[in-house]
Amino acid sequence: MTTDPGDIRFDWQRRARTGIPEAVLAEGKSPDQLARILKEARERDAALLLTRLAPEVAANLGDLDYDPVSRTAILGTPTRRPESDGKIAVVCAGSSDLPVAAEARRALQVFGTEAPLYADVGVAGLWRLMEVADELRQFRVVIAVAGMEGALFSVLAGLVPGLVIAVPSPVGYGVSAGGQAALSAALASCAPGVVTTNIGNGFGAAAAAWKAIGAG
């Protein structure tokens, strides 16, 4: 039977299979498609994360917890998993990296935990990172977001015992613009314990961190 390309087949069983619930990448979907997904979620009384959601679209989708920095929205109230608290942190090099870092934090919130954010700790002012290094050593996983040359990834991994998940952000001038230089830096890091997501993939980093602590 041919499936109508406009049909939506949402994977409501994904969390049971993988430990990570399906999220909605709003970018590229029509308002009607998003409204249909949200209608089904409300009928199931399911919490849901929407990513890359434009504010003008979010305004017409009903009662959502919308964050304009990360361009994410949360429907419903996620189930808290307090046993996961204090295991994951998010850091970002500069305030320009906040949209990606905030996406990771919001995803973790939907998964069940609140992750602290350490912002503006880029290595251009190394003292900023050193001031919080002792705190960061307490976490099993640190999600690190950086653009430009991506130096934060290697420096951070040389300071903390936990897994460092590098998320290149599409921030920078010239050859660094688009996140390519930061991605190459993360992949070529000499510091052990660095793994890398795609450029700007805060959600993917959150999912990897969640699985790394065994919370899924």
Which domains does the chain carry?
14-75 (no CATH), 82-212 (3.40.50.1970)
- Residue 146: the pLDDT is 94
What pLDDT digit, counting tens, does each position of 29-70 carry? 998 999 999 998 898 888 899 999 999 999 988 889 999 999
When pLDDT is averaged across residues 14-24 and rounded to a whole number, the result is 85
Report how far residue 166's alpha carbon sits from residue 150's, in angstroms, rounded to the nearest whole number.
Answer: 9
Asked whether residue 174 carries a pLDDT value surpassing 80, the answer given is yes
What pLDDT digit, counting tens, does each position of 133-164 carry? 999 999 999 999 999 988 999 999 999 999 99
Report how far residue 55's alpha carbon sits from residue 27's, in angstroms, rounded to the nearest whole number.
Answer: 12
When pLDDT is averaged across residues 177-184 and rounded to a whole number, the result is 90
Report how far residue 156's alpha carbon sits from residue 150's, in angstroms, rounded to the nearest whole number.
Answer: 11
Asked whether residue 5 carries a pLDDT value surpassing 60, the answer given is no
Confidence of residue 187 (pLDDT cuts 50, 70, 90): very high
Mean of all residue pLDDT scores within the chain: 89
When pLDDT is averaged across residues 181-203 and rounded to a whole number, the result is 93
When pLDDT is averaged across residues 16-29 and rounded to a whole number, the result is 87
Q: What is the maximum span of the chain, computed from C-alpha positions, in angstroms?
A: 62
Asked whether residue 4 carries a pLDDT value surpassing 70, the answer given is no
What pLDDT digit, counting tens, does each position of 59-100 carry? 988 889 999 999 999 998 888 888 888 899 999 999 999 999
